[in-house]
Copies of this chain bind each other. A is one copy, B any other.
Amino acid sequence: MTAWINNRFVPYEEALLPVSDLSIQRGYALFDFLRSVNSIPLFLPGHLDRFFGSADGLHLTVPYTRDQLGAVVQELIQRNGIDEAGIRLMLTGGSSPDTYHPTTPNLVITCLPVRTATNEDFEKGLRLITYEHQRELPHIKSINYLTGVWLQPLLRQQQADDVLYHSKGLVTELPRSNVFIVSKEGSLCTPAAGILHGITRKKVLELAGGLLPVEERAVALEEIYNSSEMFITSTTRRLLPVREVDGRLIGNGKPGSVTRELYRRFRELEEGLRAGGPDR
């Protein structure tokens, strides 16, 4: 595999950072992650927007333009010859002599094979547990996943697929996914605050137009237990139904009709882009 680091294409194994880099010293870095279908980077404009936004948020400057980075992404996909790839753009606080103050950022882009959720995963659905936690600077896609990674032994112990964060009685998100419910009243609801604004989340909100009322608003933990449908969204998982939260069944434990229709629309959107259609 070929990667790109500070304007050089290198073998992936040679994409290295010095231990003085602020990502390693202080976890100070940000990234974005997208995937390609049929060698086409999916939702690239949205991912680039968020990447530059995260850099601004962490007071770091991306030393390239959007067009330059977009061209590097395209070339990486071509050079690696993987139709379905996961592309990661990373910007760090740079190599810091005093190990605390940001300097010139390091910029790395990698392109590796990616596994996405299957139709079987969709039919099976997810088993979640909840955990009280609010991510720091949640609107910024920083590399801070300390709590998420730390919770993995608990997930294994509880035989859960993933964890849903909540804080002050409100649900927010999963470590790497957004969450939606279909409320008892028949609206599609998703938390609006304290979250990372996912690209798939945004597409799903657009795709829901005309199907049912959509509400971006505070969602209470109690409300999700009683929702008629629930699903999560992420770049690699698209939409995945949640069948169980904290041992309580959601709906009848099967993918609901709204979830199924939104999933169908999302796959259709993706297939359209795969065939070279415009990136809506």
Question: What is A's interface to B at a CB cutoff of 8 Å?
Answer: 3, 5, 13, 15-19, 21-29, 58-59, 88, 90, 92-93, 99-102, 108, 110, 133, 136-137, 142-150, 152-153, 176
- B26 lies within 8 A of A23 (CB): no
Whether A3 touches B19, Cβ cut-off 8 Å, given contacts A136-B136, A142-B146, is yes
* Nearest 3 interchain pairs by C-beta: A27-B27, A26-B145, A16-B16
Please give, as numbers and ranges, the residues of chain B lying within 8 Å of A59 by CB-CB distance. Answer: 150, 152-153
- B15 lies within 8 A of A15 (CB): no
- A152 lies within 8 A of B101 (CB): yes
Please give, as numbers and ranges, the residues of chain B lying within 8 Å of A90 by CB-CB distance. Answer: 19, 24
Would you give the shortest CB distance from A17 to chain B, in whole angstroms?
6
- B142 lies within 8 A of A147 (CB): no
- B26 lies within 8 A of A17 (CB): no
Would you give the shortest CB distance from A23 to chain B, in whole angstroms?
5
Q: Within the complex, which residue of B5, B27, B92, B102 is in contact with A144, where a contact is CB–CB below 8 Å?
A: B27
- A145 lies within 8 A of B16 (CB): no
Please give, as numbers and ranges, the residues of chain B lying within 8 Å of A92 by CB-CB distance. Answer: 24
Q: Within the complex, which residue of B18, B108, B149, B176 is in contact with A16, where a contact is CB–CB below 8 Å?
A: B18
- B137 lies within 8 A of A147 (CB): yes
| CB nearest to A25 among chain B residues | B143
Would you give the shortest CB distance from A22 to chain B, in whole angstroms?
7
A-B contact list, 8 entries, CB within 8 Å: A17-B17, A26-B149, A28-B146, A59-B150, A59-B152, A100-B148, A100-B149, A136-B146
Q: How far is the CA of A18 from the CA of B136 in the complex (A)?
A: 26
Q: Within the complex, which residue of B16, B27, B144, B176 is in contact with A19, where a contact is CB–CB below 8 Å?
A: B16
- A26 lies within 8 A of B143 (CB): yes
Please give, as numbers and ranges, the residues of chain B lying within 8 Å of A22 by CB-CB distance. Answer: 149
Please give, as numbers and ranges, the residues of chain B lying within 8 Å of A149 by CB-CB distance. Answer: 22, 26, 28, 93, 100-102
Please give, as numbers and ranges, the residues of chain B lying within 8 Å of A88 by CB-CB distance. Answer: 99
Would you give the shortest CB distance from A280 to chain B, in whole angstroms?
28
Q: How far is the CA of A144 from the CA of B135 in the complex (A)?
A: 12
Please give, as numbers and ranges, the residues of chain B lying within 8 Å of A17 by CB-CB distance. Answer: 16-17, 19, 24
| CB nearest to A15 among chain B residues | B19
| CB nearest to A29 among chain B residues | B24
Q: Within the complex, which residue of B133, B143, B153, B176 is in contact with A27, where a contact is CB–CB below 8 Å?
A: B143
